Amino acid sequence: MSKIVITGGAGFIGSHIAENLAKDGHEIVIVDNLDPYYSVDLKKRNLDIVLESGDATFINADVTDLDKMKEIIDSTVDYVYHEAAQAGVRISVEDPFKPNDINVLGTLNVLKASLDADVKKVINASSSSVYGKVKYLPFDEQHPTEPVSPYGVSKLAAEQYCRVFYEVYGLPTTSLRYFTVYGPRMRPDLAISIFTRKMLVNEPITVFGDGEQTRDFTYIEDVVEANKRLLDNRATDGKILNIGSGNRISVNDLIENLRIITDSKSEVKYADTQKGDAENTLSDVKLACDLIGYKPKVEIHKGLEKYVTWVKN
């Protein structure tokens, strides 16, 4: 079994990866600064779940602190999952400096500490936001990257640092471009979370734009499986992989699916499009399929049913 550091391990995706790997018998070290960008209580609940699932410890630390990263990521560490980030496309439009500090400088610190510690691999969480302007669909990894938000720019820079640390310094890295991940413990500021909670109590919901914009939604279990497949995998060194469902759905159709599941009477209100929001996303996951055998299993209606059940409970 391996010793694995997971930055951002109190967050949505990071806590699921940590819980799963801990249950598999790995020694897990969660690094998180419990930033109050959203409820710290939710993050603490995530932590409790992970700490009860196996050999796991928590260190309250910030990836922007290089000395601290070097202290935590030492020669006893085998792998690093770098999930820590300032998320949120819209918030990055309001304040482009915070995502740059955390997502770019923070990634650089994690990479430098990992290089010095001679870890076997750094798995970096990236985002479909790096694509931005659509030239064609589905997005394959060769699609031009023209982000339309500071968040997308920061994630693209982090990816490129990972690639360079592999090509120049020989540190094995893989970046995964996640496509709109959802499921239990998801951030409360994401659309599916907001819609579900309002629809369960028949409150009106607001859609930005006309609702015909489409998203490739990826269920958390598929994302965790993709991450686990990167352990001891050398074929992905230096690579960037799409991790999505390979399908897309309009926001209006998403709401109709949720309406059927929740039996909701919620009214839908439409508002102006938000700056930085992508118009359409759709992943081509062939490369991930070829290199790690990735095959998304949870289709959207089934995933929404599982999520709604979790919210109710």
Cβ contact 45:77 at 8 Å: no
The residues that are catalytic are: 151
Neighbours of 210 (CB within 10 A): 11
Q: Which residues contact 241 (CB under 8 A, 6 or more apart)?
A: 141, 174, 175, 176, 177, 226, 285, 287, 288, 291, 292, 294
Rounded to 10 deg, the angle between the 220-228 and 12-23 helix axes is 50
